[in-house]
A = this chain, B = another copy of it.
Amino acid sequence: MRKVDVCLTPELLHLYEVERRVVVIVDILRATSCMTVAIANGVEKIIPVAKLEECLALKENGCIGAAERDGKMPEGFDLGNSPLAYLNNAYAGKTIAMTTTNGTQAIAKSKAAEEVIIGSFLNKSAVVNYLISQPNDVLIVCAGWKGKVNLEDTLFAGAVADGLKEHFEIENDSVIASATLYNHAKKDMLTYLSSCSHVKRLKNLNIQKDIEFCLKEDQYNVIPVLREGALVAMEKMELSKVVE
């Protein structure tokens, strides 16, 4: 039986097997939600980079520069980290260079994987169905907050784990813990998360609309997938297996 595991923060990633696995990167507020919306709205390619300087360099070479540090957009970039900015095909056909506090760092650490895909509540069922349809073990990697565990990424890991439970063997306790938390919170995630540290941080930045949007399930049937260092839309052939 294939196996599923959950790594609650990239700080623990060295304890997990990444090779020969599909790794699902999770940064609900807001990097992987952004990536999902961008790809669903026709962005051709997202180049995730760990450092601000790399992102600026790509911007100077013609990419759209999207950057976030501590919830805010640093100077000199075109976009911050709001998924709403990509709606209505605003950047269709463009290449985005993106760096964020946690999410793009988690991608950088997962490059040895068989395949790296992007998960968010917005494409939850697409992710679950794709994972069931493919043959590899799965590792869900929560981006967390500066190395610490956060609640919103853990809830999403639990949502995916819960969706996989009939088809995959559970490897470690973090899978059980996150699934329990998701089932506890799923009826009203916004209220459950309202006490959590990152939501408090973001509320201070006046992005309540972003938060509400990022918690909506199954808005898009797309999966951003890492191909040669850039996130692109998963091929329709792969996704079509998933529709049944």
Chain A residues in the interface with B (C-beta under 8 A): 8-9, 11-12, 15, 145-151, 154, 170-174, 176-177, 180-181, 184-185, 195-198
Contacts and interface: CB of A to CB of B under 8 A. Distances in A.
Contacts of A181: 177, 180-181
8 contacts: A9-B12, A11-B12, A148-B172, A149-B177, A150-B173, A154-B173, A180-B180, A181-B181
A202 to B, nearest CB: 13
> Number of copies of this chain in the oligomer?
2
A14 to B, nearest CB: 8
Contact of A172 (B171, B173, B174, B197): B197
Contacts of A174: 148-149
Contacts of A146: 15
Contact of A176 (B170, B180, B195): B195
Given A8-B8, A9-B12, A170 B195 contact: yes
Given A8-B8, A12-B148, 13 more contacts: A11-B11, A12-B12, A12-B149, A15-B148, A148-B172, A150-B173, A151-B173, A170-B195, A171-B197, A172-B197, A173-B197, A176-B196, A180-B180
